[in-house]
Structure 1
């Protein structure tokens, strides 16, 4: 039975997964369509049947990462700013841990997507990135307005938060001593302690937020 049938992946999904690993290891420029075909065990003509160009594979990687990050924004309208950031951080880190290579490709190739993507494709990715930034900034502003967070520059804090969280692919490792869930809880708690005004809340661990796994979160081990 072909691998794509035995593990439940479609052939296109299998190609995307293999290409993601190759791009992460060798870079986009360092990977040829022949390399993808060889790794999957197909001829190049069959690969081109599913993806007409290498740039379309890269775009699917980018789109998947961008869509995942935006999907992770979903919130309980009744949640406090602290709870919103806490759960968003957990969803992001657990998701990144489950697909380190995709996150690596996203950031490694980021400076060059204008060369490889159409204007519409670049605009789609930038729109998703803007949605994430605006959401985080607005949550911080909400926390400041409610008195939950210290007064701060929400623009700077939002950019710093996004960089630290999404950049976690650099140090998250599979099969380490801590699970992704444990790391996400510790990481989000540490981040929030710098924002929370109430001393009694700030010293709680993990900040009084339920620690049960959220729906769809994997419990992948991640650091050494």
Structure 2
């Protein structure tokens, strides 16, 4: 007979994900152990294996939970009634606000994704790709005469935008909603007008 799922299973799972993300980000995935995760979560090592069969399974759930939610939040924005520059500003603000409180999950993507099996990497990269495509469509509509015949330039522009946003936590990790909003608007102005627009 299978063991029944506890009523607080989902809440404990989310707690484990956040604690593990912090440990993996602070110590590096290779050095952190399941024993450490269990200890930090206040549960036994045996108990954590009721949730995850391995450290790789835990890593995948951290990234899958984070990236799928981020993808949905960004690509489901209501942009009706906005022109392309306004749409870009809306997406940039929402992206940076989505990162708030998720610095550890965000940080371990670079190290973590290549360590997972190919099929799991494909799933995670698809979330990232959908967000890139979504922003690319918007940026392409802002200046079609610039990007129509040069997809490499469009990709470079979009990845530069994500680069500015993705590394924000490195030098301003304690930034709140207002600071993130201000920086997101700066990135939008830089993208649309260059430094003269500041």
Using structure 2 for the length normalisation, give the TM-score. Answer: 0.81
2:4 match: none
Q: Is the contact between residue 66 and residue 129 of structure 1 (CA under 8 Å) also seen in structure 2? A: yes
Q: Which runs of 5+ in 2 are unaligned?
A: 1-6, 148-152
Residues in 1 aligned to 2:185 and 2:114: alpha-carbon distance in whole angstroms: 36
Q: How does 1:102-141 map to 2 (within 5 A)?
A: 102-107=105-110, 109-110=111-112, 113-115=113-115, 117-141=116-140
SS at match of 1:105: helix
Tell me which residue corresponds to 2:190: 194
Distance, in Å, in 2 between the alignment partners of 1:49 and 1:137 is: 41
Q: Which of 75, 81, 86 is the equivalent residue of 1:83?
A: 86
Bigger mean CA offset, 183-192 vs 125-134: 183-192
User: Once the 2 structures are TM-superposed, how far is the Cα of residue 69 of structure 1 from its aligned partner?
Assistant: 2.7
1:162 and 2:162 matched: yes
Aligned residues: 182
Structure 1 residues 167 and 114: alpha-carbon distance in aligned structure 2, compared to 1, 3 A threshold = same
Instruction: Tell me the alpha carbon deviations over residues 99-129 of structure 1, each in whole angstroms, 9 at most, x when there is no partner.
Output: 211111223x14xx333x2222111011111
TM-score, with normalisation over the residues of structure 1? 0.72
Say if 2:52 and 2:58, in contact at 8 Å, map to a contact too. Answer: yes
- Tell me which residue corresponds to 2:26: 25
List runs of 5+ in structure 1 lacking aligned partners. 204-224
CA distance in structure 2 between the aligned counterparts of 1:29 and 1:123, rounded to whole angstroms: 21
Q: Does the 8 Å contact 2:97/2:181 carry over to 1?
A: no
Higher helix share goes to which structure? 2
What residue in structure 1 maps to residue 97 of structure 2?
94
For 2:17 and 2:75, the matched residues in 1 are separated by: 25
CA RMSD of aligned residues (A): 2.4
Mapped partners of 2:157, 2:32: distance in 1: 36
Aligned equivalents of 1:114 and 1:189: distance in 2?
A: 32
